[in-house]
Structure 1
């Protein structure tokens, strides 16, 4: 479970000091960029009232911010840049993200771009037809359930931004991970899996534009490498977590 926290600092800066304020934060941001406790940051300016600014900093945890960054060699340099504006702070607090989050429809999801549920159904049908004929992978799927391809289609659809059907009907991330325990997948088998699903994507008519295929392959690489790990003898079940959601050029945060 993530411990990330979001710090919001709200400033009211007189307009005649805005240029120096932005210059100071441009310099101070260099220290944030160097801090291992900092995930990302953004300074925004109000469109309706130019005197109002909001700085958003995502920290690996509140403790990492308060005891890690603030006790580090970077903090004095950071503070020196922003010290003249501390008196202009109207709010400085840490917030925890809630489960109320999502994306709007201004950019289509990978799920929609691919063609929706039917596209992922075609994909897994074509893929498992190839798998069962492949001498390297067929042994892993000797006891393949009749509805396995359908369930994987639901999984991929949810991962790429579709409805949460896999979570609702199959049990979510933990259920998928558990299916790989003690399978002892090898790297050659993982690599063959990656190659065959790309061939199946071609056969199923999934989009071939570079943006979609790079995002598609990024997840396939990420997912199969997790499967390889969880199939091994030293794997430990992960903490309960939601199904990962993939987007255009993005991936779940690095956990280490």
Structure 2
């Protein structure tokens, strides 16, 4: 699950220009890190000199063990080191699932529209509980790792326009493809997987408007057909496959007139 880090600074007036210049420099290696989703440095309008740096990381582990052990961190820290003593707070915060957007010209990503990481985790957790009791799918997932639902939530999140957490932590699409080698998925199992996931989407309250469900089902069709193809006994062992990116296509989300 992504985590948001907030760092609060108090910078004296003579140092403020140098401080923002240092962060413009530090932003280059920060943006290059696969563990960084996005970032923003803001200054208080009501209290000049009070700054908040917001960084969304792929996970706490990605920040503390991935980024901080990387060459990007060395360059980042070198730029902002003179201001470490001005930090008043530095904490990680978890997503509560309460979020939204105001009026906008561009549609949200599918990931944002469906409710982000909390919604996907709810979906996969409920879905795989049903899978364990399904006579058609249970044999395919016998011996499933306990964290498999969370891993699939990360994967779907990245596919639907969310943070690249699966690529950073789990090996991206090549790893997902490799998990299907030799499983000999049948057409009946493929169709049952889609039907059960669609039923679960209804159960956990994913958006049910036609535009979203068309895009959502479009990926399920594509993804399961790819999984079936790679699971065949003589399927090629593809080592490099790009992460699919799924969007609205020709059907952006419907917004009724007020």
Distance 2:123 2:173 in 1: 20
For the residue of structure 1 that corresponds to 2:140, the secondary structure is: helix
What's the counterpart of residue 123 of structure 2? 123
- Tell me how far apart the structure 2 counterparts of residues 105 and 241 of structure 1 sit (CA, whole Å): 33
Query: Could you say which residue in structure 1 is the equivalent of 2:108?
Result: 108
1:78-97 deviations in Å (ceiling 9; x for gaps):
xxxxxxxxxxxxxxxxxxxx
* Structure of higher CA gyration radius: 1
Name the counterpart of 2:200: 200
Which position in structure 2 is the counterpart of 1:95? none
Q: CA deviation digits over 1:128-168, x for unaligned, max 9?
A: 01111000110111101000000000000100000000000
Partner of 2:182: 182
**Corresponding residue for residue 138 of structure 1:** 138
Residue 230 of structure 1 deviates from its aligned partner by 0.5
Aligned counterpart, 2:210:
210
Per-residue deviation at 1:218?
A: 0.3
> Counterpart in 2 of 1:164?
164
Q: Using the alignment, how far apart are the partners of 2:239 and 2:154 within structure 1? A: 22
**Offset at residue 105 of structure 1 (A):** 8.0
Once the two structures are superposed, what CA deviation does each residue of 1:84-138 show, in whole Å capped at 9, x if it has no partner?
xxxxxxxxxxxxxxxxxxxx98220000000000010011011101111000110
Evaluate the alpha carbon distance shift between residue 219 and residue 236 of structure 1 in structure 2; reply closer, same or farther with a 3 A threshold. Answer: same
Tell me what 2:230 maps to.
Answer: 230
The number of equivalent residue pairs is 147
Deviations 1:2-42 (Å, cap 9, x if unpaired)? xxxxxxxxxxxxxxxxxxxxxxxxxxxxxxxxxxxxxxxxx
Question: Which ranges in structure 2 are unaligned for 5 or more consecutive residues?
Answer: 1-103, 251-258
* Aligned residue number for residue 72 of structure 1: none
Aligned-CA RMSD value: 1.5
> Is the alpha carbon distance of 1:247 and 1:115 closer, same or farther for their aligned partners in structure 2, counting shifts above 3 Å?
same
- Whole-angstrom CA distance in 2 between matches of 1:125 and 1:214: 22
TM-score of the pair, normalised by structure 2: 0.55
In the alignment, what sits opposite 1:155? 155
CA displacement at 1:249 relative to structure 2: 2.1
For residue 219 of structure 2, give the secondary structure of its aligned residue in structure 1.
helix
Residue in structure 2 matched with residue 15 of structure 1 by the alignment: none
TM-score, length of structure 1 as denominator length:
0.56
